[in-house]
C-alpha cells in the first residue's frame, strides 16, 4: 500500500476500473492489454489539469508562489511551474510594470529598468544589459505526473523513465514515492537527462510514482476523472454510465465545497474568497 496516492497507484486504480488490472500491466512488462500505460498517463495528467482549473478559479491564492530570479542580459526565464504572473519586483521591492512589445525601447535608447514585456517563456527587462536579481510573484500550476521503472540508480540519485519530462529543474521539490521499497522523498534537483536527486538509494528493479501538487483532498478524484476519460475513449469496451458520471460529480462538488467553500469560522477570508465563492459549474 502506497503512502501517497501517487501516479503509479492512480494508474493501478484506473486499470482496476477498466477490468484490466495486473501488476505486470501497470509496470509495463505485460503489453498484451487493450490500453498502454502512455494512454493512462495522459488521462491522469488531463484529469489533474481539469481539477486544477476548477480549484484555481475558486482559490487562486492557494497556488501563489514567489522566488528570486536573475536576469541574464535583461532576460528572465520563467520557472517550470509558472502559470500566471502576479507581480515582478526589483531587488529593492519596487514593482516592475508590464508593457506591450510595441512599447519597448528603440535600439538607440537606453530604456527603463522599471518596465518589462513578455516574450515566449521569458520576461524581458526593457533596459539593455540588466543582470539584477528580481522577485517573481506568480501563480504556479501542478507539474505533469509520471510513473515507471527506475532506469539507473546510485547513492542519492535516480533516473526516471523516458516518459518523464526531460527538462532541467522540472520536478524540483516534488514528492516521488518508491512504490517497491515503500519510501517517499522530495526531489531536490533534476537534470534534463531525467536524473533526480533524492535522499535515498533505490534499486533498478524498483517502480516509482510522482505525487500530485494538488491539495490532497482532490487526489482521489484524479483516478476517478482519469477512469472516466479512458472509458469514454473511442476504443473503450466499457463506456461510462450516467451513474458513473453522477457519482464523480457528487464527489467533486463535495470536495470543492469542503475545501474551497466560504466559511467565516475557518479563519481569515480574503476578497478573492468572497468574489470567487460561486457555485461550481460542471
C-alpha grid cell, residue 242: 450516467
121 and 174 both lie in a single domain: no
Give the DSSP letter string of 191-238.
-TTSEEE-SS---TT-EEEEPPSS-GGGHHHHHHHHHHHHHTSTT-SS
DSSP 95: B
Note the pLDDT of residue 159: 98
250 and 166 both lie in a single domain: yes
Note the pLDDT of residue 161: 97
Residues 96/86, Cβ–Cβ less than 8 Å: no
98 and 237 both lie in a single domain: no
113 and 126 both lie in a single domain: yes
81 and 217 both lie in a single domain: no
19 and 72 both lie in a single domain: no
Question: Does residue 274 form part of some domain?
Answer: no
Structural domains counted in the chain: 2
188 and 203 both lie in a single domain: yes
How far apart, in whole angstroms, are the C-alpha atoms of residue 157 and residue 145? 19
The residue among 140, 155, 183 that closes a domain is 140
How far apart, in whole angstroms, are the C-alpha atoms of residue 230 and residue 15? 10
251 and 125 both lie in a single domain: no
Question: Does residue 271 form part of some domain?
Answer: no
199 and 157 both lie in a single domain: yes
How far apart, in whole angstroms, are the C-alpha atoms of residue 214 and residue 62? 10
At residue 165, what are phi and psi to the nearest 5 degrees?
A: -70, 125
Question: Does residue 226 form part of some domain?
Answer: yes
- Residue 67 CA: distances (Å) to CA of 110, 226, 233: 27, 32, 40
The overall average pLDDT reported for the chain is: 91
Which range of residues forms the domain containing residue 176? 7-60+145-260
- Residue 158 CA: distances (Å) to CA of 96, 150, 173, 187: 40, 7, 15, 10
Residues 59/273, Cβ–Cβ less than 8 Å: yes
68 and 178 both lie in a single domain: no
Burial of 142 (0-12, 13-18, 19+ CB in 10 A): buried
Give the DSSP letter string of 16-79.
HHTT---HHHHHTS---SSS-HHHHHHHHHHHHHHHHHHHHHH-GGGGEEEEEEE-BTTEEEPP
Note the pLDDT of residue 275: 44
Question: Does residue 270 form part of some domain?
Answer: no
Is this structure's pTM higher than 0.75?
yes
Question: Does residue 266 form part of some domain?
Answer: no
In the chain, which stretches have pLDDT less than 50?
A: 264-265, 274-276, 278-282
13 and 80 both lie in a single domain: no
Note the pLDDT of residue 75: 97
Question: Does residue 267 form part of some domain?
Answer: no
Question: pLDDT tens digit string along 83-102?
Answer: 999 999 999 999 999 999 88
Note the pLDDT of residue 106: 80
CA torsion, ordered 119, 125, 130, 133, to nearest 10 deg: -90
Note the pLDDT of residue 264: 37
Note the pLDDT of residue 279: 46
Note the pLDDT of residue 281: 41
Amino acid at each position: 500500500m502506497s503512502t501517497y496516492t501517487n501516479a503509479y497507484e492512480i494508474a493501478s486504480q484506473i486499470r482496476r476500473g477498466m477490468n484490466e488490472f495486473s501488476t505486470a500491466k501497470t509496470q509495463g512488462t505485460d503489453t498484451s492489454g487493450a490500453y498502454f500505460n502512455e494512454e493512462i498517463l495522459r488521462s491522469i495528467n488531463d484529469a489533474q489539469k481539469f481539477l486544477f482549473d476548477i480549484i484555481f478559479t475558486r482559490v487562486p491564492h492557494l497556488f501563489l508562489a514567489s522566488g528570486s530570479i536573475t536576469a541574464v542580459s535583461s532576460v528572465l526565464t520563467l520557472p517550470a511551474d509558472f502559470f500566471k504572473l502576479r507581480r515582478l519586483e526589483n531587488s529593492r521591492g519596487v514593482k516592475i510594470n508590464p508593457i506591450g512589445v510595441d512599447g519597448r525601447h528603440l535600439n538607440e535608447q537606453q530604456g527603463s529598468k522599471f518596465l518589462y514585456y513578455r516574450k515566449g517563456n521569458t520576461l524581458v527587462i526593457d533596459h539593455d544589459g540588466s543582470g539584477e536579481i528580481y522577485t517573481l510573484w506568480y501563480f504556479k500550476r501542478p507539474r505533469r505526473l509520471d510513473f515507471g521503472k527506475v532506469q539507473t540508480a546510485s547513492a542519492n540519485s535516480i533516473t526516471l523513465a523516458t516518459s518523464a519530462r526531460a527538462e532541467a529543474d522540472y520536478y524540483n521539490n516534488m514528492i516521488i514515492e518508491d512504490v517497491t521499497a515503500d519510501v517517499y522523498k522530495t526531489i531536490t534537483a533534476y537534470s534534463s537527462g531525467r536524473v533526480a536527486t533524492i535522499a535515498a538509494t533505490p534499486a533498478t528493479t524498483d517502480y516509482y510514482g510522482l505525487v500530485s501538487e494538488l491539495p490532497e483532498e482532490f487526489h482521489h478524484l484524479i483516478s476517478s476523472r482519469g477512469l472516466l476519460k479512458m472509458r469514454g475513449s473511442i476504443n473503450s469496451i466499457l463506456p461510462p454510465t450516467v451513474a458513473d458520471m453522477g457519482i464523480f460529480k457528487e464527489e467533486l462538488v463535495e470536495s470543492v465545497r469542503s475545501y474551497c467553500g466560504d466559511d467565516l469560522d475557518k479563519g481569515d477570508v480574503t476578497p478573492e474568497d468572497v468574489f470567487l465563492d460561486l457555485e461550481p459549474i460542471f
